[in-house]
Amino acid sequence: MTRRFVVSGTDTNVGKTVFAAGLAGSLRGHYWKPIQSGFAPEGDKETVMRLSGLPADHILPERYRLMAPLSPHRSAELDGIVIQPSTLVVPDTPGALVIEGAGGLMVPITREFLQIDLYRTWDLPVIIVARTMLGTINHTLLSIAALRMQEIPIHGVAFVGEDNSDNIRTIGEMGEVRVLGRLPHLPQLNAHTLRDAFTTHFREEDFR
């Protein structure tokens, strides 16, 4: 079966784009961010292109590319664009596909439709990207609970940040969820260092 994952963060700037780049590169797959809000100095697609080591044709174009770095519903309103959720259809790609959401689960895509509503229609396994710092237990367990209420499959939790073994253990045990690994902060972030860190801290078999 083709491996397809949705990557969602517990918070803004949690590190899900870097994780998505590492995962897509590790799988030699394709990357797609359906909605991009704000792209200064670069959008997430450009970041993944720079960090994943994937060829350009493995980085798929966004369906909506919005100017302001805001929630998609508001950014689209400012651009005079109406987002139609029905147009956000998962592309058919050869090999693996990593889909990065816009922010967290409850981010509004329109004023009537949340990101989690989109994930429910896709019915793909979600990887939650979480911080390791204070506050992560609450944010991550809430995300796990929200996905389970909607009966959306959870593939696991990937952490980004400095080692905090008790937070990671607590989330794994209390959330009854697989801990996929932890990506440390990299003083020099580029395709080479990200590939090495992903290989060191994650297991490819966990994404089969």
Q: Collapse the DSSP code of 39 into the 3-class scheme (helix H, G, I; strand E, B; otherwise coil) and give the result.
A: coil
Query: In whole angstroms, what is the distance from residue 61 CA to residue 41 CA?
Result: 17
The CA distance from 184 to 123, in Å, is: 30
> In the structure encoding, which two tokens stand for residue 73, read together?
């519903």
Angle between helices 16-27 and 44-52 (to 10 degrees): 40
Q: Is 45 a catalytic residue?
A: no
Which pair of tokens denotes residue 82? 């109406």
* Catalytic residue chosen out of the listed positions 30, 33, 45, 131: 33
DSSP, collapsed to helix, strand or coil, labels residue 8 as: strand
Three-state secondary-structure class, residue 41: coil
Question: What are the residue numbers of the active site?
Answer: 33
